[in-house]
Chains A and B, each alone.
Chain A
């Protein structure tokens, strides 16, 4: 029984890593930038979810996820417009842009501390402490939401990037910015929209992760593991990020149990190193954007 419970737990946490990793990959594809603020955007999303629950105690949890994603996406849009795009437009070097993302992350973390306080906040909703039976195995009440969101997001993103004009425009501007621009795609808007979607997905991860643990200003630290997931799944590939997240989540849970639980937190990086040694461009074909 324990192995199944651990596997389910690993998959659930892996989905969270995968969602944050998808945000990393989306911004990397759109702007060629590793956004180290992604973990902190997830943290802000978790706190926004907390505020929505407090302000609307009767709201269904799925609506909390959507509202938190929309508010955080709007915040992401503004961050891109006012913090990143001016620097990109002035031709700032990649290293400075990465430092800028670290700075934005620190501002978000301290801002959250000022707004929501330093103490960990527990979602005041029954789902936080609810345990349900799934095929005779006890699992936290939030797990079905994680599974449903993961499936819907994969389908939704696939549809968005292959069937919608906007999604195709985003892909075009990421793959060949000059040609896309000639064809009428507004590169600035495309970049801001990608950042907003990545932020919205980050918020979804935060709202789903908070009932498993709690919302706290330091929960953005999860971004480091998510970055490892994005890297081993090939930075820039959204399916790769999701798969990478699942590998890290299951790997650290099962690996921790089989090897030594005290090294569980290092497992994400061991897996990343092992996979990148065998396949330096990550698991997905195509390799990273150059």
Chain B
């Protein structure tokens, strides 16, 4: 029968196809890989790429392999929507991973919903994204209201703060967080001394800081991006304003610490994931692999990028076990994700597309991000 296998091999080579049993599964990935918030997209992509490499080389999906199709949205919602439309139309993706900003994700879910392609975001936080009952969208990052409520509770109970002043990025990342924070703060009796929205292009925060300092709150709380957090911390030091400062997820970003300089020390934040905080075999194995490969600890976005790809791969695996891998079966299985042992902790996708997972609160001391509390 040798001649038959040879003939088949010749036919395969001639038509340029791989055996039917092994398929390439095109998966789109989008996020900002350039621009002032490039860290969100490029770091989560690096984590996703490592996951895809492992999934493909270790036969996680049997003979099938994930083919990742990345696109840079430069944190521009219009570009995000176009990129996702292109990967659906031209590449026929089975699912889309992204985005890494709330604005980009909000634009893209309109496209994935219309095309009936499942979308799983590693980082998008805006509560509104899951309030519209979109059956094609889920995320592995907690919604902004969860972040904000936990922050308010932590400030009031653990830090014994009586009052705060809010700085809010004037977009659909900043405002939902600030709204949810204010609501919870009122419940807890935490006084809001003031709330100021700033434009994302702003670089000179001294007038805002001066006005806020006059109100003498116990804490400054920022709902914005890391470049703004870094500049605010730096300018506070220049103005000699000594105020406990909560900077959200910026605390885990190297560029925040670079921009703020020594002023970053003593600031507080909440991260998607803090390397070393997950004491499970999966969490430890991920750290070991990452450190062997990159000779450093993974960042929060790299951890989230890694896990988002595994959550999706797990859904694909279950869909394949059910006999059919389609956008619909992947979507159905994605929403059935329960207690998935991720590198960043156990992950459960809730019926509305939100997630249940650990949330670390941290402080920056001597240039190191130190875990304060791990919320579940």
Contact = CB atoms under 8 A, between A and B. Distances in A.
A52 B230 CA distance: 24
Interface residues on B, range: 35 or more
Given A6-B207, A119-B39, A253-B207, A261 B196 contact: yes
Interface stretch (B29-37, B107-115, B275-283, B300-308): B29-37
B238 A221 contact: no
Contacts of B197: 262
A252 B206 CA distance: 11
A252 B199 CA distance: 14
Interface in A237-266: 252-254, 256-257, 261-262, 264-265
Majority secondary structure, B binding face: helix
B42 interface: yes
A19 to B, nearest CB: 16
B34 A113 contact: yes
A2 interface: yes
Interface in A155-204: none
Contact of A264 (B207, B214, B255): B207
B32 to A, nearest CB: 8
A140 interface: yes
A262 B234 contact: no
A129 B263 contact: yes
Contact of B259 (A2, A122, A217, A218): A122
Most B Cβ at <10 Å: residue of A13, A118, A264: A118
A212 B206 CA distance: 12
B169 to A, nearest CB: 11
B259 A120 contact: yes
Contact of B238 (A13, A131, A262): A131
Contacts of B234: 129
B22 interface: no
A218 B32 CA distance: 14
Interface of B: 33-36, 38-39, 42, 170, 196-199, 201-204, 206-208, 210-211, 213-214, 227, 230-231, 234, 237-240, 255, 258-259, 261-263
Interface of A: 2, 5-6, 9, 13, 113, 117-120, 122, 128-129, 131, 138-140, 212-214, 216-218, 221, 252-254, 256-257, 261-262, 264-265
Closest 8 CB pairs of A and B: A129-B261, A118-B34, A118-B38, A256-B207, A257-B207, A261-B208, A122-B258, A2-B210
